[in-house]
Amino acid sequence: MNARLFLTLGLLGILLQSTGCAGLSGFARRTGPAYEAEVQSWQQIIQEKGGNGMWLVNRGYRLGDDIVATATGSAFPHSAILDHENGVVIEALWPGNVVTPLDQFLALSHRVALVQPEGWTPEAGDAALAKARSQLGKKYDFGGILGLPGSNRWYCSELATWCWDRPADRLGPWHVIHPRRLLKMGTVVFDSGSRDGVPDAPSPAPSAAAPALPAESAPAPAPPCCIPPATDCGQ
Give pLDDT, residue 132.
98
Q: Give the Cα separation of 171 and 173 in Å (integer).
A: 7
Q: Give the Cα separation of 36 and 53 in Å (integer).
A: 26
- Comparing CA positions, the residue from 228, 192, 149 lying closest to residue 43 is 192
Give pLDDT, residue 28.
86
Give pLDDT, residue 203.
60
**pLDDT tens per residue, range 180-200:** 999 999 999 999 999 999 999
Give pLDDT, residue 175.
87
Strand partners, 92: 97
Q: Give the Cα separation of 84 and 49 in Å (integer).
A: 10
State the 10-residue block means of pLDDT for the chain, 235 residues long.
43 43 69 96 98 98 92 93 98 97 98 98 98 97 91 94 87 88 97 96 55 46 45 40
What residue spans define the domains of the chain?
A: 31-194
Give pLDDT, residue 12.
40
CATH architecture of 31-194: Alpha-Beta Complex (3.90)
Give pLDDT, residue 11.
37
